[in-house]
Amino acid sequence: MTYRIGNASGFYGDRFDAVREMLEGGPLDVLTGDYLAELTMLILGRDLMKDPTKGYAKTFLRQLEGSLGTAVDRGVKIVANAGGLNPAGLATAIRELADRLGIAVKVAHVEGDDVRSKFDGFLTANAYLGCWGIVEALNQGADIVVTGRVTDASLIVGPAAAHYGWARDDWDALAGATVAGHVIECGAQATGGNFAFFTEIPDLLHAGFPIAEIEADGSAVITKHAGTGGAVTTETVTAQLLYEIGGPDYLGPDVVSRFDTINLAQAGPDRVGITGVKGTPPPPDVKVCLNKLGGFRNAMTFVLCGLDVEAKADLVKRQLTERIGSDGVTWSLGTVAHDEPATEESASALLHVTIKDADGKRSGRAFSQAAVELALASYPGFHATTPPGDATPFGVFSAAFLPQQAIAHTVVLPDGRRVEVTPPAQTAPAAEAKSVEPDGEPGATPKFRIGERFGARSGDKGGDANLGVWARTDEDYEWLTQTLSSARLKELLPELKDLFVERYPLPNLRAVNFVVRGLLGDGVAASTRFDPQAKALGEWLRSVEVSV
Protein backbone atom coordinates (compact mmCIF):
# COMPACT_ATOMS: atom_id res chain seq x y z
CA MET A 1 0.00 0.00 0.00
CA THR A 2 1.28 3.47 -0.91
CA TYR A 3 2.99 5.34 1.91
CA ARG A 4 2.30 9.08 1.85
CA ILE A 5 5.03 11.36 3.18
CA GLY A 6 4.45 15.11 3.05
CA ASN A 7 6.87 17.92 3.76
CA ALA A 8 5.92 21.19 5.45
CA SER A 9 9.20 23.10 5.64
CA GLY A 10 12.09 23.71 3.26
CA PHE A 11 14.11 26.03 5.50
CA TYR A 12 14.08 27.73 8.88
CA GLY A 13 11.59 30.51 8.15
CA ASP A 14 9.32 28.75 5.66
CA ARG A 15 5.54 29.28 5.72
CA PHE A 16 4.45 28.93 9.34
CA ASP A 17 0.96 27.61 8.57
CA ALA A 18 2.23 24.82 6.31
CA VAL A 19 2.27 22.24 9.14
CA ARG A 20 -1.40 22.82 9.88
CA GLU A 21 -2.29 23.01 6.17
CA MET A 22 -0.60 19.70 5.40
CA LEU A 23 -2.20 17.91 8.35
CA GLU A 24 -5.68 19.21 7.59
CA GLY A 25 -5.46 19.19 3.78
CA GLY A 26 -5.72 15.47 3.14
CA PRO A 27 -4.46 12.01 4.10
CA LEU A 28 -0.83 11.59 5.20
CA ASP A 29 1.12 8.90 6.98
CA VAL A 30 4.14 11.03 7.86
CA LEU A 31 4.82 14.76 7.92
CA THR A 32 8.43 15.91 7.66
CA GLY A 33 10.10 19.27 8.10
CA ASP A 34 13.52 20.40 6.90
CA TYR A 35 14.79 23.35 8.92
CA LEU A 36 18.57 23.13 8.51
CA ALA A 37 21.09 24.51 6.05
CA GLU A 38 24.75 25.37 6.30
CA LEU A 39 23.91 28.97 7.20
CA THR A 40 21.24 27.84 9.68
CA MET A 41 23.81 25.82 11.62
CA LEU A 42 25.82 29.01 12.12
CA ILE A 43 22.72 30.88 13.30
CA LEU A 44 21.83 28.12 15.75
CA GLY A 45 25.43 27.99 16.91
CA ARG A 46 25.26 31.65 17.89
CA ASP A 47 21.91 31.00 19.64
CA LEU A 48 23.51 28.21 21.64
CA MET A 49 26.35 30.50 22.70
CA LYS A 50 23.79 32.87 24.23
CA ASP A 51 21.61 30.17 25.81
CA PRO A 52 22.81 26.54 26.20
CA THR A 53 19.18 25.35 26.44
CA LYS A 54 18.43 26.55 22.91
CA GLY A 55 20.14 25.78 19.59
CA TYR A 56 17.04 24.26 17.96
CA ALA A 57 14.42 25.67 15.56
CA LYS A 58 11.99 27.38 17.93
CA THR A 59 9.47 27.87 15.10
CA PHE A 60 8.85 24.12 14.97
CA LEU A 61 7.77 24.09 18.61
CA ARG A 62 5.28 26.90 17.97
CA GLN A 63 3.92 25.07 14.92
CA LEU A 64 3.35 21.94 17.01
CA GLU A 65 1.46 23.91 19.62
CA GLY A 66 -1.39 24.44 17.19
CA SER A 67 -1.14 21.14 15.30
CA LEU A 68 0.06 18.39 17.63
CA GLY A 69 -3.48 17.33 18.50
CA THR A 70 -4.42 17.09 14.83
CA ALA A 71 -1.39 14.93 14.08
CA VAL A 72 -2.15 12.54 16.94
CA ASP A 73 -5.86 12.34 16.09
CA ARG A 74 -5.07 11.51 12.46
CA GLY A 75 -2.26 9.09 13.25
CA VAL A 76 0.36 11.11 11.38
CA LYS A 77 3.97 10.58 12.44
CA ILE A 78 6.23 13.66 12.47
CA VAL A 79 9.93 13.62 11.55
CA ALA A 80 11.95 16.84 11.52
CA ASN A 81 15.56 17.96 11.77
CA ALA A 82 14.47 20.96 13.81
CA GLY A 83 16.64 19.70 16.68
CA GLY A 84 19.55 21.50 15.08
CA LEU A 85 22.39 21.63 17.60
CA ASN A 86 20.25 20.47 20.51
CA PRO A 87 17.85 17.66 19.53
CA ALA A 88 17.63 16.46 23.14
CA GLY A 89 16.54 19.94 24.22
CA LEU A 90 13.85 20.08 21.55
CA ALA A 91 12.59 16.59 22.47
CA THR A 92 12.25 17.69 26.09
CA ALA A 93 10.44 20.87 25.04
CA ILE A 94 7.99 18.82 22.92
CA ARG A 95 7.21 16.53 25.85
CA GLU A 96 6.58 19.55 28.06
CA LEU A 97 4.31 21.03 25.39
CA ALA A 98 2.38 17.77 25.06
CA ASP A 99 1.94 17.55 28.84
CA ARG A 100 0.64 21.10 28.94
CA LEU A 101 -1.83 20.34 26.12
CA GLY A 102 -2.88 17.05 27.70
CA ILE A 103 -1.79 15.01 24.65
CA ALA A 104 -0.12 11.62 24.97
CA VAL A 105 2.77 11.44 22.50
CA LYS A 106 5.97 9.41 22.24
CA VAL A 107 9.02 11.49 21.34
CA ALA A 108 12.43 10.19 20.28
CA HIS A 109 15.50 12.03 19.12
CA VAL A 110 18.60 11.25 17.09
CA GLU A 111 22.03 12.53 18.06
CA GLY A 112 25.69 11.92 17.32
CA ASP A 113 26.08 14.39 14.48
CA ASP A 114 27.83 16.88 16.78
CA VAL A 115 31.54 16.15 16.29
CA ARG A 116 33.05 19.35 17.65
CA SER A 117 35.31 17.26 19.89
CA LYS A 118 37.11 16.09 16.74
CA PHE A 119 37.68 19.59 15.32
CA ASP A 120 39.31 22.39 17.30
CA GLY A 121 38.34 26.03 16.90
CA PHE A 122 34.93 25.63 15.28
CA LEU A 123 31.61 27.00 16.48
CA THR A 124 29.76 24.03 14.96
CA ALA A 125 30.89 20.72 13.48
CA ASN A 126 28.12 18.40 12.38
CA ALA A 127 28.29 15.18 10.41
CA TYR A 128 25.52 14.38 7.95
CA LEU A 129 23.85 11.32 9.45
CA GLY A 130 21.70 8.90 7.49
CA CYS A 131 18.23 7.48 7.96
CA TRP A 132 18.73 4.48 10.26
CA GLY A 133 18.37 6.28 13.58
CA ILE A 134 15.01 7.54 12.37
CA VAL A 135 14.11 4.00 11.30
CA GLU A 136 14.90 2.63 14.76
CA ALA A 137 12.90 5.35 16.50
CA LEU A 138 9.81 4.70 14.36
CA ASN A 139 10.16 0.94 14.74
CA GLN A 140 10.16 1.42 18.51
CA GLY A 141 6.86 3.31 18.43
CA ALA A 142 7.86 6.97 18.33
CA ASP A 143 5.17 9.40 17.19
CA ILE A 144 7.63 12.26 16.74
CA VAL A 145 11.30 11.99 15.83
CA VAL A 146 13.53 15.04 15.99
CA THR A 147 17.08 15.01 14.72
CA GLY A 148 20.13 17.16 14.45
CA ARG A 149 22.07 17.21 11.19
CA VAL A 150 20.90 14.38 8.99
CA THR A 151 20.89 14.57 5.21
CA ASP A 152 17.74 16.34 4.09
CA ALA A 153 16.48 13.31 2.19
CA SER A 154 16.96 11.05 5.24
CA LEU A 155 13.86 12.64 6.76
CA ILE A 156 11.88 10.95 3.99
CA VAL A 157 13.96 7.80 3.50
CA GLY A 158 13.77 6.89 7.21
CA PRO A 159 9.96 6.60 7.43
CA ALA A 160 9.80 4.72 4.11
CA ALA A 161 12.51 2.26 5.18
CA ALA A 162 10.78 1.68 8.53
CA HIS A 163 7.38 1.14 6.92
CA TYR A 164 8.57 -1.29 4.26
CA GLY A 165 11.24 -3.01 6.33
CA TRP A 166 14.05 -2.29 3.88
CA ALA A 167 17.44 -3.81 4.59
CA ARG A 168 20.61 -1.77 4.78
CA ASP A 169 21.62 -3.07 1.33
CA ASP A 170 18.33 -2.48 -0.50
CA TRP A 171 20.27 0.00 -2.60
CA ASP A 172 17.70 0.68 -5.33
CA ALA A 173 14.82 1.19 -2.90
CA LEU A 174 16.92 3.48 -0.72
CA ALA A 175 18.10 5.41 -3.78
CA GLY A 176 14.56 5.83 -5.08
CA ALA A 177 13.36 7.17 -1.74
CA THR A 178 16.41 9.46 -1.60
CA VAL A 179 15.48 10.96 -4.95
CA ALA A 180 11.89 11.45 -3.79
CA GLY A 181 13.23 13.02 -0.61
CA HIS A 182 15.45 15.38 -2.58
CA VAL A 183 12.41 16.49 -4.57
CA ILE A 184 10.16 17.33 -1.61
CA GLU A 185 12.76 18.48 0.95
CA CYS A 186 12.64 22.09 -0.30
CA GLY A 187 8.90 22.45 0.06
CA ALA A 188 7.08 24.44 -2.59
CA GLN A 189 10.06 24.43 -4.96
CA ALA A 190 8.63 21.07 -6.11
CA THR A 191 5.17 22.53 -6.74
CA GLY A 192 6.12 25.51 -8.89
CA GLY A 193 7.87 27.79 -6.43
CA ASN A 194 10.96 29.53 -7.85
CA PHE A 195 10.23 27.82 -11.19
CA ALA A 196 11.87 29.28 -14.30
CA PHE A 197 8.59 29.35 -16.26
CA PHE A 198 6.64 30.64 -13.28
CA THR A 199 4.03 32.44 -15.41
CA GLU A 200 2.74 28.98 -16.43
CA ILE A 201 2.09 27.93 -12.81
CA PRO A 202 -1.47 28.45 -11.51
CA ASP A 203 -2.18 30.11 -8.16
CA LEU A 204 1.29 30.82 -6.83
CA LEU A 205 -0.36 33.08 -4.28
CA HIS A 206 -0.57 30.01 -2.07
CA ALA A 207 1.41 27.10 -3.47
CA GLY A 208 0.77 23.73 -1.88
CA PHE A 209 3.54 21.74 -0.25
CA PRO A 210 4.65 18.45 -1.84
CA ILE A 211 3.88 14.84 -1.02
CA ALA A 212 5.83 11.73 -2.00
CA GLU A 213 3.75 8.59 -2.37
CA ILE A 214 6.45 5.96 -1.96
CA GLU A 215 6.05 2.31 -2.96
CA ALA A 216 7.74 -0.80 -1.57
CA ASP A 217 10.37 -0.81 -4.35
CA GLY A 218 11.35 2.84 -3.73
CA SER A 219 9.51 4.23 -6.73
CA ALA A 220 7.34 7.24 -5.98
CA VAL A 221 4.76 9.68 -7.20
CA ILE A 222 5.21 13.34 -6.34
CA THR A 223 1.94 15.18 -5.76
CA LYS A 224 0.23 17.69 -3.47
CA HIS A 225 -3.06 18.03 -1.63
CA ALA A 226 -6.08 18.68 -3.85
CA GLY A 227 -7.22 22.27 -3.97
CA THR A 228 -3.84 23.81 -3.20
CA GLY A 229 -2.02 26.21 -5.51
CA GLY A 230 0.96 25.55 -7.71
CA ALA A 231 1.55 22.55 -9.94
CA VAL A 232 3.48 19.29 -9.99
CA THR A 233 4.85 18.57 -13.46
CA THR A 234 7.85 16.74 -14.85
CA GLU A 235 9.50 20.15 -15.23
CA THR A 236 8.88 21.37 -11.68
CA VAL A 237 10.30 18.06 -10.46
CA THR A 238 13.25 18.33 -12.87
CA ALA A 239 14.00 21.81 -11.59
CA GLN A 240 14.16 20.58 -8.01
CA LEU A 241 16.24 17.53 -8.95
CA LEU A 242 18.84 19.93 -10.39
CA TYR A 243 18.99 21.98 -7.19
CA GLU A 244 22.26 21.91 -5.25
CA ILE A 245 23.72 18.79 -6.82
CA GLY A 246 27.09 17.87 -8.30
CA GLY A 247 27.83 14.94 -10.59
CA PRO A 248 25.40 12.15 -11.50
CA ASP A 249 26.32 10.18 -8.36
CA TYR A 250 24.44 11.73 -5.43
CA LEU A 251 26.48 10.72 -2.39
CA GLY A 252 24.82 9.95 0.93
CA PRO A 253 25.76 8.15 4.14
CA ASP A 254 23.37 5.25 3.39
CA VAL A 255 23.42 4.96 -0.40
CA VAL A 256 24.75 6.56 -3.56
CA SER A 257 21.78 7.49 -5.75
CA ARG A 258 22.39 7.52 -9.50
CA PHE A 259 20.71 10.64 -10.83
CA ASP A 260 21.48 9.50 -14.38
CA THR A 261 19.02 6.61 -13.91
CA ILE A 262 15.99 8.66 -12.86
CA ASN A 263 12.91 8.31 -15.06
CA LEU A 264 10.14 10.91 -14.80
CA ALA A 265 6.64 10.62 -16.23
CA GLN A 266 3.50 12.69 -15.87
CA ALA A 267 1.08 10.28 -14.19
CA GLY A 268 -1.92 12.61 -14.12
CA PRO A 269 -2.75 16.15 -13.06
CA ASP A 270 -0.24 17.18 -10.35
CA ARG A 271 1.23 13.68 -10.29
CA VAL A 272 4.77 12.84 -11.45
CA GLY A 273 6.13 9.32 -11.26
CA ILE A 274 9.76 8.62 -10.37
CA THR A 275 11.01 5.17 -11.37
CA GLY A 276 14.15 3.29 -12.32
CA VAL A 277 16.52 4.83 -9.80
CA LYS A 278 19.62 2.74 -9.16
CA GLY A 279 21.65 2.79 -5.96
CA THR A 280 25.12 1.61 -4.94
CA PRO A 281 26.85 1.31 -1.56
CA PRO A 282 27.71 4.56 0.23
CA PRO A 283 31.24 5.94 0.55
CA PRO A 284 33.29 5.02 3.64
CA ASP A 285 33.37 8.63 4.84
CA VAL A 286 30.63 11.09 5.81
CA LYS A 287 30.65 14.80 5.15
CA VAL A 288 31.01 17.20 8.08
CA CYS A 289 29.72 20.79 8.01
CA LEU A 290 32.11 23.12 9.86
CA ASN A 291 31.37 26.70 10.87
CA LYS A 292 33.54 29.15 12.71
CA LEU A 293 33.27 32.87 13.40
CA GLY A 294 35.28 34.59 10.70
CA GLY A 295 35.18 38.16 11.99
CA PHE A 296 32.95 41.16 11.41
CA ARG A 297 31.48 42.84 8.35
CA ASN A 298 29.69 46.01 7.32
CA ALA A 299 28.36 47.34 4.02
CA MET A 300 26.93 50.39 2.30
CA THR A 301 25.47 51.08 -1.13
CA PHE A 302 26.10 54.39 -2.91
CA VAL A 303 23.78 55.71 -5.62
CA LEU A 304 25.51 57.07 -8.74
CA CYS A 305 22.98 58.99 -10.82
CA GLY A 306 23.31 60.38 -14.33
CA LEU A 307 26.52 60.99 -16.22
CA ASP A 308 30.11 59.91 -15.49
CA VAL A 309 29.18 56.83 -13.48
CA GLU A 310 32.63 55.28 -13.76
CA ALA A 311 34.34 58.51 -12.69
CA LYS A 312 31.96 58.93 -9.76
CA ALA A 313 32.63 55.36 -8.64
CA ASP A 314 36.38 55.89 -8.95
CA LEU A 315 36.23 59.05 -6.82
CA VAL A 316 34.29 57.55 -3.92
CA LYS A 317 36.47 54.43 -3.99
CA ARG A 318 39.62 56.52 -3.68
CA GLN A 319 38.10 58.71 -0.98
CA LEU A 320 36.93 55.84 1.21
CA THR A 321 40.13 53.84 0.66
CA GLU A 322 42.20 56.81 1.86
CA ARG A 323 40.25 56.78 5.13
CA ILE A 324 39.85 53.06 5.88
CA GLY A 325 42.42 51.33 3.68
CA SER A 326 41.81 48.53 1.21
CA ASP A 327 42.32 45.42 3.35
CA GLY A 328 39.16 43.31 3.44
CA VAL A 329 37.25 45.77 1.24
CA THR A 330 35.22 44.59 -1.76
CA TRP A 331 33.61 46.89 -4.33
CA SER A 332 30.88 45.95 -6.80
CA LEU A 333 29.20 48.22 -9.37
CA GLY A 334 25.72 46.84 -9.89
CA THR A 335 22.86 48.12 -12.05
CA VAL A 336 23.91 50.25 -15.00
CA ALA A 337 22.08 53.46 -15.78
CA HIS A 338 19.78 53.45 -18.83
CA ASP A 339 20.75 55.53 -21.86
CA GLU A 340 17.44 57.44 -21.92
CA PRO A 341 16.09 57.14 -18.37
CA ALA A 342 12.43 57.92 -17.77
CA THR A 343 12.84 57.98 -13.99
CA GLU A 344 15.59 58.99 -11.59
CA GLU A 345 15.97 55.38 -10.46
CA SER A 346 16.52 54.15 -14.02
CA ALA A 347 19.20 56.87 -14.41
CA SER A 348 21.11 55.46 -11.43
CA ALA A 349 23.69 52.77 -10.81
CA LEU A 350 24.43 51.16 -7.46
CA LEU A 351 27.93 50.88 -6.02
CA HIS A 352 28.22 48.33 -3.20
CA VAL A 353 31.10 48.32 -0.73
CA THR A 354 31.66 45.60 1.88
CA ILE A 355 34.36 45.51 4.53
CA LYS A 356 35.43 42.58 6.69
CA ASP A 357 37.94 42.47 9.53
CA ALA A 358 38.83 40.25 12.45
CA ASP A 359 37.68 42.36 15.41
CA GLY A 360 35.13 44.87 14.10
CA LYS A 361 37.26 47.94 14.75
CA ARG A 362 37.68 49.01 11.11
CA SER A 363 34.37 47.55 9.94
CA GLY A 364 32.29 49.15 12.67
CA ARG A 365 31.69 52.82 13.35
CA ALA A 366 35.02 53.73 11.80
CA PHE A 367 33.74 52.50 8.42
CA SER A 368 30.28 54.04 8.78
CA GLN A 369 31.66 57.39 9.90
CA ALA A 370 34.18 57.50 7.07
CA ALA A 371 31.42 56.88 4.54
CA VAL A 372 29.06 59.47 6.04
CA GLU A 373 31.78 62.14 6.16
CA LEU A 374 31.94 62.00 2.35
CA ALA A 375 28.34 63.18 1.99
CA LEU A 376 29.14 66.80 1.09
CA ALA A 377 32.60 66.30 -0.34
CA SER A 378 32.28 63.63 -3.02
CA TYR A 379 30.54 63.11 -6.37
CA PRO A 380 27.43 65.14 -7.38
CA GLY A 381 24.15 63.59 -6.28
CA PHE A 382 25.81 61.66 -3.44
CA HIS A 383 23.45 59.55 -1.38
CA ALA A 384 23.24 55.99 -0.10
CA THR A 385 20.48 53.39 0.14
CA THR A 386 21.78 51.98 3.40
CA PRO A 387 22.13 53.87 6.68
CA PRO A 388 25.37 53.72 8.64
CA GLY A 389 25.47 50.93 11.20
CA ASP A 390 27.58 48.73 13.40
CA ALA A 391 29.51 45.73 12.14
CA THR A 392 27.94 42.30 12.49
CA PRO A 393 29.72 38.97 12.95
CA PHE A 394 29.97 36.56 10.03
CA GLY A 395 30.81 32.90 9.77
CA VAL A 396 33.10 30.87 7.56
CA PHE A 397 31.99 27.50 6.21
CA SER A 398 34.23 24.58 5.35
CA ALA A 399 33.71 20.87 4.80
CA ALA A 400 35.57 17.90 6.21
CA PHE A 401 35.14 14.12 6.18
CA LEU A 402 35.19 11.45 8.86
CA PRO A 403 35.05 7.66 8.59
CA GLN A 404 31.55 6.29 9.10
CA GLN A 405 32.90 4.29 12.06
CA ALA A 406 33.98 7.50 13.81
CA ILE A 407 30.39 8.76 14.17
CA ALA A 408 28.46 7.87 17.34
CA HIS A 409 25.08 7.78 15.58
CA THR A 410 22.59 7.25 18.42
CA VAL A 411 18.81 7.23 18.84
CA VAL A 412 17.26 8.03 22.21
CA LEU A 413 13.92 6.24 22.39
CA PRO A 414 10.75 7.54 24.08
CA ASP A 415 11.46 5.42 27.18
CA GLY A 416 14.98 6.88 27.46
CA ARG A 417 16.86 3.88 26.15
CA ARG A 418 19.83 4.69 23.95
CA VAL A 419 20.46 2.58 20.86
CA GLU A 420 23.66 2.83 18.85
CA VAL A 421 23.22 2.81 15.08
CA THR A 422 25.92 0.73 13.46
CA PRO A 423 27.75 2.07 10.41
CA PRO A 424 27.03 0.42 7.06
CA ALA A 425 28.58 -3.02 6.64
CA GLN A 426 29.27 -2.38 2.97
CA THR A 427 30.80 0.77 1.54
CA ALA A 428 32.61 1.63 -1.67
CA PRO A 429 34.94 4.51 -2.55
CA ALA A 430 33.07 7.22 -4.37
CA ALA A 431 33.73 7.21 -8.10
CA GLU A 432 35.42 10.36 -9.32
CA ALA A 433 32.95 12.65 -11.05
CA LYS A 434 34.16 13.31 -14.58
CA SER A 435 33.33 16.62 -16.18
CA VAL A 436 32.08 16.10 -19.74
CA GLU A 437 32.42 18.74 -22.47
CA PRO A 438 30.77 18.77 -25.93
CA ASP A 439 32.65 16.71 -28.53
CA GLY A 440 30.98 18.01 -31.67
CA GLU A 441 30.58 21.24 -33.58
CA PRO A 442 27.42 23.22 -32.79
CA GLY A 443 25.01 23.92 -35.59
CA ALA A 444 23.91 27.36 -36.69
CA THR A 445 20.97 28.91 -34.84
CA PRO A 446 19.34 32.33 -34.86
CA LYS A 447 19.75 34.63 -31.89
CA PHE A 448 17.60 33.87 -28.87
CA ARG A 449 17.59 34.40 -25.14
CA ILE A 450 18.41 31.19 -23.31
CA GLY A 451 15.37 31.55 -21.04
CA GLU A 452 13.03 31.47 -24.02
CA ARG A 453 13.86 27.79 -24.58
CA PHE A 454 15.58 26.56 -21.43
CA GLY A 455 14.84 26.43 -17.74
CA ALA A 456 17.45 26.73 -14.99
CA ARG A 457 17.80 26.25 -11.25
CA SER A 458 20.84 27.28 -9.21
CA GLY A 459 21.95 27.25 -5.59
CA ASP A 460 24.80 27.08 -3.11
CA LYS A 461 26.89 24.28 -1.67
CA GLY A 462 29.36 25.82 0.77
CA GLY A 463 31.68 28.03 -1.27
CA ASP A 464 30.57 26.46 -4.56
CA ALA A 465 27.48 27.00 -6.69
CA ASN A 466 25.57 24.73 -9.02
CA LEU A 467 23.66 25.74 -12.12
CA GLY A 468 21.35 23.16 -13.69
CA VAL A 469 19.93 23.85 -17.16
CA TRP A 470 17.19 21.76 -18.75
CA ALA A 471 15.68 21.71 -22.24
CA ARG A 472 11.98 21.51 -22.99
CA THR A 473 12.39 19.51 -26.21
CA ASP A 474 14.77 16.86 -27.54
CA GLU A 475 15.94 19.26 -30.25
CA ASP A 476 16.87 21.90 -27.71
CA TYR A 477 18.65 19.32 -25.59
CA GLU A 478 20.81 18.52 -28.60
CA TRP A 479 21.71 22.22 -28.83
CA LEU A 480 22.41 22.31 -25.09
CA THR A 481 24.74 19.32 -25.16
CA GLN A 482 26.58 20.47 -28.31
CA THR A 483 26.90 24.16 -27.52
CA LEU A 484 26.83 25.07 -23.84
CA SER A 485 30.31 24.05 -22.74
CA SER A 486 32.04 25.21 -19.56
CA ALA A 487 34.07 27.67 -21.63
CA ARG A 488 30.93 29.03 -23.30
CA LEU A 489 29.24 29.40 -19.92
CA LYS A 490 32.17 31.53 -18.74
CA GLU A 491 31.80 33.74 -21.81
CA LEU A 492 28.10 34.23 -21.15
CA LEU A 493 28.57 34.84 -17.40
CA PRO A 494 31.83 36.81 -17.12
CA GLU A 495 31.88 36.62 -13.31
CA LEU A 496 32.85 32.96 -13.73
CA LYS A 497 35.81 33.54 -16.05
CA ASP A 498 38.55 32.88 -13.47
CA LEU A 499 36.80 29.97 -11.74
CA PHE A 500 36.90 26.21 -12.32
CA VAL A 501 33.64 24.92 -13.81
CA GLU A 502 32.61 21.27 -14.04
CA ARG A 503 29.95 20.03 -16.46
CA TYR A 504 27.72 16.95 -16.01
CA PRO A 505 25.12 15.97 -18.64
CA LEU A 506 21.96 14.21 -17.45
CA PRO A 507 20.32 12.99 -20.68
CA ASN A 508 17.47 11.27 -18.81
CA LEU A 509 16.39 14.70 -17.54
CA ARG A 510 17.34 16.55 -20.75
CA ALA A 511 19.63 18.58 -18.52
CA VAL A 512 23.21 19.65 -17.91
CA ASN A 513 24.47 20.53 -14.45
CA PHE A 514 27.39 22.91 -13.94
CA VAL A 515 29.33 23.16 -10.69
CA VAL A 516 31.16 26.46 -10.20
CA ARG A 517 33.95 26.02 -7.69
CA GLY A 518 34.69 28.91 -5.34
CA LEU A 519 32.04 31.35 -6.58
CA LEU A 520 30.82 31.97 -3.02
CA GLY A 521 34.22 32.07 -1.33
CA ASP A 522 33.99 30.98 2.31
CA GLY A 523 30.29 30.19 2.10
CA VAL A 524 27.01 32.07 2.26
CA ALA A 525 27.62 33.82 5.59
CA ALA A 526 30.98 35.22 4.46
CA SER A 527 30.21 35.88 0.80
CA THR A 528 30.29 39.48 -0.42
CA ARG A 529 28.78 38.58 -3.77
CA PHE A 530 25.62 40.44 -4.79
CA ASP A 531 23.75 37.09 -4.82
CA PRO A 532 25.50 35.32 -1.93
CA GLN A 533 23.61 32.02 -2.33
CA ALA A 534 23.71 31.92 -6.16
CA LYS A 535 19.92 31.58 -6.18
CA ALA A 536 19.56 33.78 -9.27
CA LEU A 537 22.62 32.56 -11.18
CA GLY A 538 20.36 30.49 -13.42
CA GLU A 539 18.07 33.44 -14.13
CA TRP A 540 21.08 35.53 -15.12
CA LEU A 541 22.01 32.87 -17.66
CA ARG A 542 18.44 32.71 -18.96
CA SER A 543 18.49 36.46 -19.61
CA VAL A 544 21.53 36.23 -21.91
CA GLU A 545 21.12 36.36 -25.70
CA VAL A 546 23.11 33.80 -27.67
CA SER A 547 23.74 32.86 -31.28
CA VAL A 548 26.01 30.37 -33.00
Per residue in 336-357, pLDDT (tens digit) is: 766 788 899 989 999 999 999 9
Strand partners, 410: 111, 420
Q: How much is the pTM?
A: 0.95
In the chain, residues under CATH classification 3.30.70.2750 are 290-396
Distances (CA, A) of 335 to 347, 452, 459: 10, 23, 22
In the chain, residues under CATH classification 3.30.1360 are 448-546
Q: Quick one: pLDDT band at residue 441, thresholds 50, 70, 90?
A: low
The mean pLDDT of 14-34, rounded to a whole number, is 98
Q: Quick one: pLDDT band at residue 530, thresholds 50, 70, 90?
A: confident
Q: Indicate whether 387 pLDDT > 70.
A: yes
Q: Quick one: pLDDT band at residue 524, thresholds 50, 70, 90?
A: confident
For a pLDDT cut of 70, what percent of the chain falls above it?
Answer: 98
Please check whether the domain covering 290-396 is classified as CATH 3.30.70.2750. Answer: yes
Q: Indicate whether 147 pLDDT > 60.
A: yes
Q: Indicate whether 548 pLDDT > 60.
A: no
Give CA–CA dist 113/84, Å, rounded.
10
Q: Indicate whether 442 pLDDT > 70.
A: no
Give CA–CA dist 127/392, Å, rounded.
27
pLDDT at residue 443, rounded to an integer: 61
Number of helices followed by number of strands (H, E) in the chain: 14, 26
Q: Indicate whether 326 pLDDT > 90.
A: yes
The mean pLDDT of 391-420, rounded to a whole number, is 96
* CATH architecture group of domain 448-546: 2-Layer Sandwich (3.30)
pLDDT at residue 513, rounded to an integer: 98
Give CA–CA dist 273/179, Å, rounded.
11
The mean pLDDT of 26-35, rounded to a whole number, is 98
